[in-house]
């Protein structure tokens, strides 16, 4: 193998960044503070609460760009899953409730987000809301039908309401700071009953049952001095609009149904946009806008997702802290994604559907495959357990997510051209879609769809050479180049055990998605599922890896088989060609990778095996030219291998995942690595081998210099500097040699005056707490050996003579070290005592011998 096509060996990687799920709890819904001036997002991952700040940036190519910053992560003290959480409209107070029925309120304006109050409630709660105007009142609805209203600032329960016969499923706190008479709590339960409570009179004001199922959304809006409009929506697909009189009205029939709108969709949230329009959201993942005066169909709506989703919450956004003017809404979906829609887009009649401003992905789920895409290759295209193609701007804002729909089932894999302008995705819906980058909108759109397999498409591949030519042409023409010709062909592999080669149409119908149903070639490839395919750098060969334990090599031009590579004991997960040499690597469930070489006459042979993984190897590819391979496995580890001189040695193991690593890729020939696992956790690694080598060289140089300085001090009898340098080096034997030589030199002096000498005794008496702890630890090491314990005894004696025992006890960790010294001191004392006793026996024997001689 030619291993001279790259730089130095990469043997050290640093974990420089990560992308972790910040919202994956299905019981508690993520919440966002309502004021656009201070947008705080709170979400839960089981028993962990994440607090993030949403910062809006300037528009880029007609899009609003946002940036998320993680402010804090809170571990729930009782380690129970979070069932409900809420943040006040002004973004100050966070409330969360656990399965243990413990309510915790934190003040986010304090440096460490200090706990303001914790208390227990009577039964579990899945519904908690705060009022909009004052951001001080908190309503907690429980499964036993009771509701508690809590004053956050003054830390006490102001109201307790009972009367519902079912679980509290929705609530709304309404109040006006300028009119204390109009403060109400509206609540709905799973039996379809809506109740209105007067907070000033502390009693139930109205009760009405117009739903046959759980009420999931309720809102109220003041229309005149005595009149209110109320809306409720339930899982019975019904939206009811009521007119309600204030508590000051003398009208006996103070609440009545104004109109009933059958929506045909399950309602999970509803509310008023203004006096003329209201919204619903829920089933099919659609946000609908209705005119209050009409009984017909919705006027505006968002596009229906191809994936089976529903909206679990809608959070209004207001322009300022008066909370009067709505500027937009955040939609929270069941797959833990959050979408923003602006008010101006809702009433834009030029659009068929309401456009999404941006998306935030709380959890990507299992990552099956990924590629770098975009003109600067600064975005990450993901194939996840979702119907949508997800593109994450990993360098700019890793929490934002672009979502593109064309598939009707989960994505299995994807591939991208080297320039990042084209993506092809493979799905369980038996189709593959080619996506094109749109420079003006900085987004991707479907170009054409390949249909013809009778099984799930498991792998896809794109050509290399044409895209390299295009990349060079765009480089020559500059940033204004419009040369975006599509790849000439696409190759797909399917669960029907066949591979197909498709010609990509150069002209398409822009009105609808072009369907390609006729492939150029179809070949029966394997006896079991095909997990991976890869095309050689010169587009001459195609490699396929299958569960049938074989890797097959094909001619790309006509898909004729060239050879079969055998040797693995279990099914293959991955295959990759080397970009710089005639090599390829296969990954298998038998916990190994195999390296294969090939020549011009299409002869392939195995040249080595990489062994070291404790579970199946999911991915492997070449880095650093052809010198190295990086692999990842089901045990959650990455391994860096060296192929230099055919040693096939594991140089480094990287551990940062807790689950199977499904996807991995590199950038800049191994300068950066990105790994992603089944939990949706991304880890980003950077090669710092050269920095580490320089650091080690400097450290070695420093050690040599200090060692030489220490020897010079000892040779010159400079015990003070030798002691301080040995203490700095913190090496047991260096320190011992300094003290021992000092004792040897001064052994003829008056030992009653100094333990070591005047300088050393004074130096030991002036040590700070940290240096003192280090010295005592060294005494612990010396005290374990009968040859060195005498120096430890002298040092301990010197310390006890110069330091107050109270001061020594206060040094953190010192008492623990001393406790380990005492048993060895006792052993040494007993040994010396026995030796002394033996000398008495010797004296007795000598005396007895003298007497006998006489």
**Ramachandran area for residue 22 (φ above 0: left; ψ -120 to 50: alpha; else beta):** alpha
pLDDT of residue 467: 59
* pLDDT tens readout for residues 582-627: 999 999 999 999 999 988 777 889 999 999 999 999 999 999 989 9
Q: Where are the beta strands (DSSP E) in 334-421?
A: 337-342, 358-361, 367-373, 379-384, 389-392, 402-404, 411-416
- Span 775-788, average pLDDT: 86
Q: Assign 424 a pLDDT band (cuts: 50, 70, 90).
A: very high
- Indicate the CATH number for domain 370-687: 2.130.10.10
Going from N- to C-terminal start, the domains of the chain cover 370-687, 718-840
At residue 479, the pLDDT reads 52
Query: What's the CA gap between 139 and 841, in Å, rounded?
Result: 88
Q: Is 39 exposed, middle or buried (0-12, 13-18, 19+ CB in 10 A)?
A: buried
More confidently predicted of 2 and 507: 507
The answer, yes or no, to whether residue 429 has pLDDT greater than 90, is: yes
For residue 559, the model assigns a pLDDT of 95
Q: How confident is the model at residue 5 (pLDDT cuts 50, 70, 90)?
A: very low
CA–CA gap between residue 521 and residue 532 (Å, rounded):
18
Q: What is the pLDDT of residues 537-553, one digit of tens each?
A: 999 999 999 999 999 99
- Distance between CA 226 and CA 267 in Å, rounded? 29
Q: What is the structure's pLDDT at 351?
A: 85
How much is the pLDDT for 597? 94
Roughly how many angstroms between the first and final C-alpha of the chain, as a whole number? Answer: 92
Three-state secondary structure call for residue 444: strand
**Does the pLDDT at position 815 exceed 60?**
yes
Q: Helix/strand/coil (H, E, C) string of 627-673?
A: CEEEEEECCCEEEEEECHHHCCEEEEEEECCCCCEEEEEEECCCCEE
- Residue 483, pLDDT > 60, answer no
Asked which of 375-389, 393-407, 523-537, 778-792 is least confident by mean pLDDT, the reply is 778-792
Q: Is the pLDDT of residue 3 over 80?
A: no
Judge contact between 210 and 231, C-beta under 8 A: no
pLDDT > 70: percent of the chain? 95
Q: What pLDDT score was predicted for residue 82?
A: 93
* Element holding 313 (H helix, E strand): strand 311-318
- Average pLDDT of the chain? 89
Buried b / exposed e along 809-823 (16+ C-beta atoms within 10 A): eebeebeeebeebee
According to the model, what pLDDT value does residue 445 have?
A: 93
- pLDDT at residue 640 tops 50: yes
Mean pLDDT of 566-589: 95
Contacts of 370 (CB under 8 A, 6+ apart): 380, 381, 382, 383, 414, 663, 665, 674, 676
Query: What are the C-alpha distances in Å from 421 to residues 424, 468, 670?
Result: 10, 12, 22
Percent of the chain whose pLDDT exceeds 90: 58
Is pLDDT above 70 for 208?
yes
Report whether 420 contacts 377 (CB < 8 A): yes
Average pLDDT, stretch 826-843? 82
- Alpha carbon distance 490, 433 (integer Å): 10
Residue 470, pLDDT score: 61
Q: Which residues pair with 93 in a beta bridge?
A: 107
- Could you read off the pLDDT of 98-116 as tens digits, one per residue? 999 999 999 999 988 999 9
Q: Evaluate if residue 228 carries a pLDDT over 50.
A: yes
Scanning 251-336, the segments in alpha helix (DSSP H) are none
Give me the pLDDT at residue 478, please: 57
Q: Classify residue 283 by its DSSP letter.
A: G
The predicted structure's pLDDT at residue 666: 94
Confidence band of 743 (pLDDT split at 50, 70, 90):
confident
Q: Is the pLDDT at 4 greater than 50, yes or no? A: no
Please answer whether residues 3 and 642 qualify as being in contact, where contact means their C-beta atoms are separated by less than 8 angstroms. no
Q: Give the pTM.
A: 0.82
Dist. CA 481–CA 484, nearest whole Å: 8
- How confident is residue 748, by pLDDT bands cut at 50, 70 and 90? low
For 16-67, the pLDDT digits (tens) are: 999 999 998 778 899 998 887 789 999 999 889 999 999 877 665 556 778 8
pLDDT of amino acid 847: 82
So what's the pLDDT on residue 586? 98
Q: How far apart are CA 593 and CA 608, in angstroms?
A: 9
Q: Give long-range contacts, CB 8 A cutoff, 24+ apart: 211-214.
A: 211/236, 211/238, 211/240, 212/236, 212/238, 214/166, 214/167, 214/169, 214/188, 214/189, 214/190
10 Å Cβ neighbour count for 569?
A: 10
Instruction: Give CA–CA dist 766/760, Å, rounded.
Output: 10
Q: Parallel, antiparallel, or unpaired for β 498-503 and 489-494? A: antiparallel
């Amino acid at each position: 193998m030619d291993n001279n096509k790259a730089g130095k060996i990469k043997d050290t990687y640093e974990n420089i960044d990560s992308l972790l799920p910040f919202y994956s709890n299905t019981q508690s819904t993520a919440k966002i503070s309502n004021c656009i001036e201070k947008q705080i997002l709170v979400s839960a991952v089981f028993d962990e609460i994440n607090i993030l700040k949403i910062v809006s940036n300037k528009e880029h190519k007609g899009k609003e760009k946002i940036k998320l910053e993680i402010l804090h992560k809170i571990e729930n003290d009782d380690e129970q899953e979070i069932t409900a959480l809420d943040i006040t409209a002004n973004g100050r107070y966070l409330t969360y409730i656990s399965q243990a029925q413990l309510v915790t309120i934190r003040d986010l304006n304090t440096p460490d987000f200090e706990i303001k109050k914790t208390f227990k409630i009577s039964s579990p709660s899945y519904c908690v809301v705060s009022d909009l105007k004052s951001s001080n009142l908190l309503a907690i609805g429980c499964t036993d039908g009771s509701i508690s209203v809590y004053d956050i600032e003054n830390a006490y329960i102001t109201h307790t309401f009972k009367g519902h016969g079912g679980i509290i499923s929705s609530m709304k706190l309404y109040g006006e700071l300028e009119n204390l008479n109009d403060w109400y709590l509206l609540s709905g339960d799973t039996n379809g009953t809506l109740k209105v409570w007067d907070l000033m009179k502390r009693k139930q004001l109205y009760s009405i049952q117009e739903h046959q199922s759980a009420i999931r959304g309720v809102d109220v809006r003041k229309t005149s001095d005595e009149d209110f409009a109320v809306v409720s929506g339930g899982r019975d697909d019904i939206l009811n609009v009521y007119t309600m009189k204030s508590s000051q009205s003398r009208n006996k029939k103070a609440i009545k149904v104004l109109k009933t709108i059958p929506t045909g969709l399950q309602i999970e949230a509803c509310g008023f946009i203004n006096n003329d329009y209201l919204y619903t959201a829920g089933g099919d993942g659609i946000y609908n806008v209705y005119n209050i005066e009409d009984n017909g169909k919705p006027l505006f709506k968002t596009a229906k997702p191809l994936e089976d989703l529903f909206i679990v919450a809608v959070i209004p956004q207001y322009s300022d802290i008066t909370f009067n003017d709505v500027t937009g809404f955040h939609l929270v979906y069941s797959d833990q994604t959050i979408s923003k829609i602006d008010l101006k887009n809702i009433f834009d009649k030029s659009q068929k559907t309401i456009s999404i401003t941006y998306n935030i992905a709380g959890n990507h789920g299992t990552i099956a495959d990924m590629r770098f895409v975009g003109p600067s290759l600064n975005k990450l295209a993901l194939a996840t357990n979702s119907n949508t193609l997800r593109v994450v701007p990993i360098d700019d804002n890793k929490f934002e997510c672009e979502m593109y729909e064309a598939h009707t089932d989960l994505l299995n894999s994807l591939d991208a051209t080297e320039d990042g302008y084209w993506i092809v995705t493979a799905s369980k819906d038996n189709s593959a879609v080619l996506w094109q980058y749109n420079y003006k909108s900085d987004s991707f759109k479907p170009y054409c769809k390949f249909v013809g397999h009778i099984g799930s498409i498991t792998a896809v591949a794109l050509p290399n050479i044409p895209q390299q030519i295009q990349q060079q042409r765009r480089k020559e023409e500059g940033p204004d180049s419009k040369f975006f010709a599509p790849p000439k062909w696409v190759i797909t592999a399917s669960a029907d055990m066949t591979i197909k080669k498709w010609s990509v149409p150069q002209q398409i119908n822009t009105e609808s998605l072009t369907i390609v149903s006729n492939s150029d070639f179809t070949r029966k490839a394997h006896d079991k599922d095909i997990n991976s395919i890869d095309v050689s750098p010169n587009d001459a060969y195609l490699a396929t890896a299958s569960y049938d334990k074989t890797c097959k090599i094909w001619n790309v031009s006509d898909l004729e088989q060239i050879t079969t590579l055998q040797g693995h004991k279990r099914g293959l997960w991955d295959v990759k060609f080397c970009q710089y040499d005639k090599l390829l690597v296969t990954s298998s469930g038998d916990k190994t990778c195999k390296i294969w070489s090939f020549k011009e006459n299409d002869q392939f042979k195995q040249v080595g095996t990489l062994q070291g993984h404790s579970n199946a190897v999911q991915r492997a590819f070449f880095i650093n030219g052809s010198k190295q391979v990086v692999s990842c496995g089901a045990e959650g580890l990455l391994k860096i291998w060296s192929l230099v001189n055919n040693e096939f040695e594991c140089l480094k193991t990287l551990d940062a995942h807790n689950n199977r690593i499904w996807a991995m890729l590199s950038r800049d020939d191994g300068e950066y690595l990105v790994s992603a696992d089944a939990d949706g956790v991304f880890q980003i690694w950077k090669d710092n081998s050269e920095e580490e080598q320089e650091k080690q060289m400097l450290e070695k140089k420093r050690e040599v210099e200090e060692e030489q300085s220490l020897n010079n001090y000892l040779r010159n009898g400079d015990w003070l500097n030798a002691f301080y340098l040995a203490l700095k080096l913190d090496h047991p034997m260096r320190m011992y040699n300094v003290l021992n030589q000092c004792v040897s030199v001064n052994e003829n002096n008056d030992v009653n005056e100094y333990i070591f000498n005047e300088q050393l005794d004074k130096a030991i008496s002036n040590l700070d707490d940290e240096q003192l702890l280090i010295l005592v630890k060294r005494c612990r090491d010396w005290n374990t050996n009968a040859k060195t314990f005498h120096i430890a005894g002298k040092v301990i004696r010197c310390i006890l003579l110069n330091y107050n025992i109270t001061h020594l006890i206060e040094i953190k960790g010192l008492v623990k070290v001393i406790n380990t010294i005492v048993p060895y001191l006792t052993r040494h004392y007993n040994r010396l005592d026995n030796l002394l006793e033996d000398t008495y026996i010797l004296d007795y024997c000598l005396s007895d011998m003298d007497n006998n001689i006489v």
